[in-house]
Every structure is written in C-alpha cells, then in structure tokens.
Amino acid sequence: MNWIPRRERFRTVLAGATCVHPASIFDPISARIAERVGFEIGMLAGSAASLTVLGAPDLIVLTLNELAAQAFRICRASILPLLVDADHGYGNALNVKRTVAGYAGAGFACVMIEDQRAPKRCGHTRGKEVVDRAEAVTRIRAAADAREEGAQILVMARTDARATHGLDEALWRARAFEDAGADLLFVEAPRDEREMERVCAASALPQMANLVEGGDTPLLPPARLEALGYRIAAYPLTLLSAATLAMQRALGALRRGEHPTDLLSFAELRAAVGFDRYDAERLRYAEPAR
C-alpha cells in the first residue's frame, strides 16, 4: 500500500493553526469509530498497545513485532494518519533505525522515540531513568536518517528528563533533538503552566502535551493549550479507560443475570464496523446470473 498520503495529511494537520487532539485508539474498531466521528489523526500509545495486545503494563514486555502488527491492523482498517509510540527504539541507534524503517513499512505516519532506559515506565510514573545526552541524541539522529532514506515517516522526539534531571536538561535535549532532525517534540510531564510555556518557547517545532488524569501535567482546556503553543494534545488512555469501564459494567450486568443497558443497536454496530462497504464489495464480485 501507498502510505505516503497519510504522512502528507499528518504534515498538513501540523501546519494548521489549532491544537489538534489525536484519537487515543488501540485497535481497528476504535480507529474506525474515531474516523467516523471526524478525528483527523490517531495515536497508539505504548501503554494502550501493551494493555490491549498482552493485558500487561507498559514496561517493555510488548515486542517490536507485536506493536507493529497491532498498528498495521489499525492502518488497514482506517485511513487515519497514525502516531505510534516506539518507546526507546528497542536498542541502540541501529535498532532505532531499523524500528523506524519497519514501522514506516507498516503504514505509520509518525513514530515517537524517547530517551528512557529499559525497562521504561509510563511518563507520569516514578522511577524513570534516561540515557545520557549523547545516546539520546544519537537515537533521534538514527530515526531521522531512516526517514531520509525513503520512508518519509515523521519523527517525534520525546524526553523524560524533566523527572530525572529537571526542566533545563529536558529543554536542552529538546533543542538537541531538533538539531538532530526531529519533526516534532515531546517534553514529558512539565509540572505547571509556566513550565509548559517554557517548553513551547524552546523550539519552533510542533510540540505535544500528554494529559493523564492524576498525572504531573495540568489538565488544561484545549484553548489554553493552544495559547501556550502546543500543536498536539494527547489523551493516551482516555478511550481505553472508557471502553474498559463499559465492558466491566456490561459484564457485571450479565453476571447478575441482567441485560446491559446503554448499548449500540445492531444496526449501529454494523455501521461502525463497515458492513455496508463489505456488502458492496461482496456484490461486486458476485457471480452474474445465468
């Protein structure tokens, strides 16, 4: 398949004037729903992928191939340009380069590479560690090289140094990532609006905010995030949390011998999964009457 148009649409979204909110999708059906309700881009977080593929926490127990396979299924099911969390690239600079090239072949529009040590942790948890400056910058340079060698995938550079070394170190790394060829920046977990403002002022590249209920970063409204200078506001676990709660309630009702309420009708479910398109395709290949 030709994935380049998706990357071009992703770049077009970033070139706009508003702060965009990627749909925090985690499987093909969530991607289809996000597309139907009008989202412009999607995001597959490493935490969401680990939970849905393995039922395991985000501690790098999910492999490169498992994440790539899940994201490829999403890309086949939807035309949403997809931002995917590639963690630390699964090794040294050569591994990062291979990861980015492989993910480009799977259809991703943008890949995120970070500077955490393994085993990594979710961005708003304690106990994180980051690699030194040289290794962090080398990872991003390798990712940018993979992009320049024909993949045309966008590279988001992430630093978790705010939690381990302070904001000044995180901003130094962000600027170094820009020089190394990143397309977007993500300084994880600033603590207040003043820090968020400094993050956005540190570079002309588009910046992403990561907003988690109970996390370190303030849950600001979209208009305020935009005023601060953010181009992407990610809510990586919102949809999965909502889906998990709905499943718990439905299963609890069934376990009690009750019929769950607040369900999609069968017709709505058929529409969500694209039955009409498949039916049209089936009729197109139906054997002609004799």
Mean pLDDT of 62-79: 91
Does the pTM exceed 0.75? yes
Evaluate whether residue 263 is within a structural domain.
no
Range with top average pLDDT, 43-47, 91-95, 175-179: 175-179
Evaluate whether residue 169 is within a structural domain.
yes
For 205, the domain range is 4-244
Mean pLDDT of 7-32: 94
> In this model, does residue 60 exceed pLDDT 80?
no
What span, in angstroms and rounded, lies between the C-alpha atoms of 85 and 116? 13
Which residues, 6 or more positions from 288, have their beta carbon under 8 angstroms from its beta carbon? none
Evaluate whether residue 288 is within a structural domain.
no
**CATH label of the domain that carries residue 221:** 3.20.20.60
Position 149 confidence tier, pLDDT thresholds 50, 70, 90: confident
Percent of the chain with pLDDT over 70: 95
Evaluate whether residue 273 is within a structural domain.
no
* Residue pLDDT, tens place only, 230-245: 999 999 889 999 999 9
Evaluate whether residue 147 is within a structural domain.
yes
Position 123 confidence tier, pLDDT thresholds 50, 70, 90: low
Position 277 confidence tier, pLDDT thresholds 50, 70, 90: confident
What span, in angstroms and rounded, lies between the C-alpha atoms of 54 and 41? 24
217: helix, strand or coil: coil
Evaluate whether residue 249 is within a structural domain.
no
Evaluate whether residue 266 is within a structural domain.
no
Evaluate whether residue 85 is within a structural domain.
yes
* Total tally of structural domains belonging to the chain: 1
What span, in angstroms and rounded, lies between the C-alpha atoms of 98 and 116? 18
